[in-house]
């Protein structure tokens, strides 16, 4: 039986080198290299890979102790198995070598059975070590990949719902931070009466209201898988159908807005008891926008630019407390599912023609 194990025999006695090499080759070890002294052995070990070293103790220049100490001090070579070659009267020297890190020893003259057993055992030890090292490298690489995935997931969760962020990291969507164009449904919302409230209230009161408001709105955004583009004080911009297409984005947007209106109404009961007169206004529009990362290295935001975002913002500005105003395009997309009432054409800043607008009364029963 032949083996591709790479062996290095180090002995200053030429006859010993020849005898040991021949016996190893007869046992199937065809790749056997020899070195006449410790210095040449170290040069060979540093220049090419080996699986086992058979090392004589008594040699000129660098003896076996010195070679062994050098190997065990080298991070790349310390796990290489070493069998010491000793004479019968060198037992104390063998013990010293074992204490220095040698794996086994062979006495001269070489016994073929012991040679086979001890070489085989050391090579098996090397094989197991290499397997474990390979598993460790694989595990380390997987840990690095997982850490990078978690970091990317955390970055994406600044912009997207957890479901969408996890899908993106898993490879279920193209990189959303790359500039792209897509049809989206945009939702703008803010609190009516907030400016007056902020101007006449203590900062602690304002922050308390915002915390309650953001918590409820954030929960609704996550439930309906919307993408929060930004929030500034009481104002928020959310859109649907990006970065991953979703079914019926206009319907999702309206259902989310209705849920938000109900939650703000519930918050409003407590706010009114504290003297705060606040109500939610919402504007929703649908159309094409350019989306992607906006900012600079170290501080990126996710932005959507286009007429559709301006329209949603203008509709939000026109909405009274408790109103959800939508464009005709959104109204057409949810026909039969959402109960609407016509508000009439509205003249909005930035739009040359009046915009046909509808108010959302609620979700139709059974829809």
Whether the upstream peptide bond of residue 117 has omega within 30° of 0, thus cis, is no
Report yes or no on 114 lying in a domain. Answer: yes
Instruction: Assess if residue 242 is contained within a domain.
Output: yes
Query: Measured between alpha carbons, how far is 43 from 38 in angstroms, rounded to an integer?
Result: 9
Please compute the mean of the pLDDT values over residues 149-163 and round it to a whole number.
65
What's the pLDDT at 54?
93
Question: What's 244's DSSP letter?
Answer: S
Are 127 and 211 in the same domain?
A: no
User: C-alpha angle with apex 206: 202 to 209, nearest 5 degrees?
Assistant: 140
Looking at the fold, whether 90 and 208 belong to one and the same domain comes out as no
Structure tokens of 24?
A: 């190893």
Instruction: Identify the CATH number of the domain in which residue 230 sits.
Output: 3.30.70.1230
| Pair 318, 242 in one domain | yes
Output the pLDDT for position 344. 84
* Amino acid 88: pLDDT: 56
Query: Residue 337's closest CA among 313, 305, 361, 308?
Result: 361
Which class for 61: exposed (0-12), middle (13-18), buried (19 or more C-beta within 10 A)? Answer: exposed
Mean pLDDT of 50-63: 89
Pairing verdict, β 82-86 and 104-107? parallel
Say if CB 5 and CB 38 are below 8 A apart: no
pLDDT exceeds cutoff 90 at 232: no
Domain-located, residue 126: yes
Judged against a pLDDT cut of 90, whether residue 137 lies above it is answered with no
Q: By mean pLDDT, which of 38-52, 73-87, 286-300 is the weakest?
A: 286-300
Task: Mark which of 119, 135, 151 sits at the end of a domain.
Answer: 135
| Residue 179 maps to a domain | yes
* Residue 117 and residue 248 share a domain: no
List 150's β-bridge partners, or say none.
none
Instruction: Establish if 279 belongs to a structural domain.
Output: yes
Determine the structural domain holding residue 334 and report its residue range: 162-363
Cα 302 → chain centroid: 19
Question: In the structure encoding, which two tokens stand for residue 222, read together?
Answer: 């996550």
Whether the CB-CB separation of 291 and 180 falls below 8 Å is answered with: yes
Kindly state whether residues 285 and 333 are assigned to the same domain: yes
Dist CA 24 CA 10 (whole Å)? 13
Over range 103-124, report the average pLDDT.
Answer: 86
Judged against a pLDDT cut of 60, whether residue 1 lies above it is answered with no
318 in Cβ contact with 325 (< 8 Å): yes
pLDDT digits (tens, 9 = 90+) for 267-279: 999 999 999 999 9
**Within this chain, do residues 195 and 319 fall inside the same structural domain, yes or no?**
yes
Q: Which of 117, 135, 153 is the last residue of a domain?
A: 135
All residues at 6 or more sequence positions from 9 whose CB lies less than 8 Å from its CB, including other chains:
17, 20, 21, 24, 32, 33, 34, 35, 54
The residue out of 100, 117, 135 marking a domain boundary is 135
pLDDT at 197: 93
Question: Average pLDDT for residues 213-238, to the nearest whole number?
Answer: 90
Which residues pair with residue 291 across a beta bridge? 180, 304
- 129 & 169 share domain: no
Residue 139: per-residue pLDDT? 80
**Same domain membership, residue 128 and residue 19:** yes
Mean of per-residue pLDDT scores for the chain: 87
Q: What's the confidence (pLDDT) of residue 349?
A: 92
**3-10 and 52-56 strand pairing:** parallel
| Maximum pairwise Cα distance, the chain | 110
Residue 140 lies in a domain: no
The verdict on 112 and 245 lying in the same domain is no
The Cα–Cα gap between 241 and 289 comes to 11
Q: Provide the pLDDT for residue 129.
A: 83
Handedness of CA 347, 348, 352, 353 (dihedral sign): negative
Where are the extended beta strands (E) located within 21-97? 29-35, 52-56, 82-86
DSSP 82: E
Q: H-helix or E-strand containing 357? A: strand 355-363
What's the pLDDT score for residue 284?
Answer: 98
Region 300-310 average pLDDT: 84
* Arithmetic mean of pLDDT, 188-216: 94
The verdict on residue 149 lying in a domain is no
Q: Evaluate whether residue 152 is within a structural domain.
A: no
Of 50-59, 160-169, 323-332, minimum mean pLDDT range: 160-169
CB 216 within 8 A of CB 267: yes
Same domain, 216 and 131: no
Contact by Cβ (8 Å): 39, 10? no
For residue 39, pLDDT over 80 is answered with yes
| Tokens standing for residue 183 | 């049809």
Residue 208 pLDDT exceeds 80: yes
Number of domains within the chain: 2
Residues 309 and 186 sit within 8 Å (Cβ to Cβ): yes
Q: What is the CATH number of the domain that holds 120?
A: 3.40.50.2300
- The beta strand positions in 174-265, using DSSP E, are 180-192, 227-232, 235-240
Say yes or no: 174 and 114 in one domain: no
Same structural domain, 128 and 226: no
Distance CA 104, CA 209 (A): 75
């Amino acid at each position: 039986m032949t083996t591709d194990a790479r062996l290095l025999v180090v002995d200053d006695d030429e006859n010993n080198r020849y005898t040991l090499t021949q016996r190893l080759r007869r046992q199937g070890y065809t790749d056997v290299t020899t070195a006449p002294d410790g210095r040449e052995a170290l040069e060979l070990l540093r220049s090419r890979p080996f699986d086992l070293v058979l090392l004589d103790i008594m040699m000129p220049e660098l003896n076996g102790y010195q070679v062994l100490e050098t190997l065990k001090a080298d991070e790349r070579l310390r796990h290489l198995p070493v069998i010491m070659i000793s004479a019968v009267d060198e037992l104390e020297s063998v013990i010293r070598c074992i204490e220095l890190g040698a794996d086994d020893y062979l006495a001269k003259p070489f016994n073929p059975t012991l040679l086979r057993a001890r070489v085989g055992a050391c090579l098996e030890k090397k094989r197991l070590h290499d397997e474990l090292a390979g598993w460790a490298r694989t595990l380390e690489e997987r840990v690095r990949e997982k850490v990078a995935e978690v970091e990317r997931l955390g970055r994406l969760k600044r912009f997207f719902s957890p479901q969408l962020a996890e899908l993106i990291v898993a490879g279920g969507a193209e990189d959303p931070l790359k500039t792209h164009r897509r049809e989206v449904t945009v939702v703008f919302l803010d609190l009516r009466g907030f400016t007056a409230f902020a101007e006449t209230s203590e900062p602690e009161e304002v922050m308390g209201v915002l915390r309650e408001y953001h918590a409820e709105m954030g929960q609704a955004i996550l439930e309906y898988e919307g993408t929060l583009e930004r929030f500034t004080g009481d104002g928020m911009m959310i859109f649907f159908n990006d970065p991953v297409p979703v079914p019926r984005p206009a319907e999702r947007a309206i259902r989310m807005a209705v849920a938000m209106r109900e939650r703000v109404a519930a918050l409003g009961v407590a706010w009114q008891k504290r003297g705060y007169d606040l109500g939610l206004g919402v504007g929703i529009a649908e159309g094409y926008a350019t989306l992607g990362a906006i900012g600079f290295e170290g501080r990126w935001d996710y932005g959507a630019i286009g007429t559709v975002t301006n329209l949603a913002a203008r509709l939000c500005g026109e909405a009274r407390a408790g109103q959800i105003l939508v464009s005709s395009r959104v109204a057409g997309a949810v026909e039969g599912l959402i109960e609407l009432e016509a508000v009439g054409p509205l003249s909005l800043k930035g739009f040359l023609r009046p915009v046909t607008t509808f108010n959302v009364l609620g979700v139709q029963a059974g829809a």
